[in-house]
């Protein structure tokens, strides 16, 4: 059996007030660094995984560094964990997009499975990429525990596939910074053990 621990990166600027961050290179905030340390402390109690994969973006690599120090496992970039491409909306504040492209903005939140970002990706593109990444990980590691550090959108896309849910359910899954999702994949199929677990972050708040 393979156990996947799927995590989101720590806090960055642009989460609140919200921007379309996507593939922008954003460093962890001071809060994000504290969250990453707390995440590593919790994971250290589980023991060393067989592998640690991250999105190529710096905020995920940075989140994985305390895990590397705590458990002695080097992070490896995985293209399948790369964040969604927001195209022309990249870096824009939500309030600006809501004002300038009201119909498309409403579509993203009401029927996300029908949306393609101008000059960017759709959820179908994201699902195809994350599915390829997941297949690659499972082929490399048919047993043991694997850590994955991804993004809000990436994690949602993976969880929808693992839960056998439609893309229209995209917004039903919360993914907080440095959360943990645990999935067991074995002969009996897929069992999602936990989603968006943030117990290790108790007491950490934006300063």
What's the pLDDT at 206? 59
What's the pLDDT at 100? 96
Q: State the first-to-last Cα distance of the chain, in angstroms, to the nearest integer.
A: 41
Reply yes or no: is the peptide bond before residue 15 cis, omega within 30 of 0.
no
**CA–CA distance, 171 with 65 (Å, rounded to integer):** 29
- What pLDDT, in 10s, does the model give residues 160-169? 999 999 999 9
Q: Where are the alpha helices (DSSP H) in 85-151?
A: 94-100, 102-110, 123-140
The mean of the pLDDT values for the chain is 96
What's the pLDDT at 2? 97
- What pLDDT, in 10s, does the model give residues 36-69? 999 999 999 999 999 999 999 999 999 999 999 9
List for the chain the helix, strand, coil content (%; round to 5).
Answer: 45, 20, 35
| In contact, 57 and 82? CB cutoff 8 Å | yes
Q: What is the largest CA-CA distance in the chain?
A: 50
pTM listed for this prediction: 0.95
Instruction: Tell the burial category of 202 from Cβ atoms under 10 Å away from its Cβ (0-12, 13-18, 19+).
Output: exposed
What is the arithmetic mean of pLDDT over 21-28? 95
What's the pLDDT at 16? 84
- Total residue count of the chain as it appears in this document: 207
- What pLDDT, in 10s, does the model give residues 83-109? 999 999 999 999 999 999 999 999 999
Six token digits for residue 50? 């067989």
């Amino acid at each position: 059996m393979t156990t996947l621990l799927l995590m989101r990166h720590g806090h960055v600027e642009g989460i609140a007030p919200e921007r379309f961050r996507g593939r922008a290179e954003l460093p962890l905030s001071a809060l994000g660094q504290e969250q990453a340390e707390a995440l590593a402390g919790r994971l250290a109690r589980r023991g060393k995984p067989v592998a640690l994969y991250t999105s190529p973006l710096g905020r995920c690599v940075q989140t994985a560094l305390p895990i590397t120090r705590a458990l002695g496992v080097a992070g490896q970039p995985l293209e399948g964990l790369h964040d969604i491409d927001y195209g022309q909306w990249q870096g824009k504040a939500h309030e600006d997009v809501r004002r300038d492209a009201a119909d498309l903005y409403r579509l993203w939140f009401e029927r996300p499975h029908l949306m393609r970002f101008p000059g960017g990706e759709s959820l179908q593109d994201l699902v195809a990429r994350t599915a390829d990444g997941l297949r690659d990980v499972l082929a490399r590691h048919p047993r043991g525990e694997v850590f994955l550090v991804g993004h809000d959108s990436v994690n949602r896309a993976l969880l929808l596939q693992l839960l056998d849910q439609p893309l229209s359910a995209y917004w039903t899954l919360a993914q907080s910074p440095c959360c943990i999702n645990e999935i067991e994949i074995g002969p009996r199929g897929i069992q999602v053990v936990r989603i968006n677990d943030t117990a290790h972050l108790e007491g950490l708040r934006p300063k």
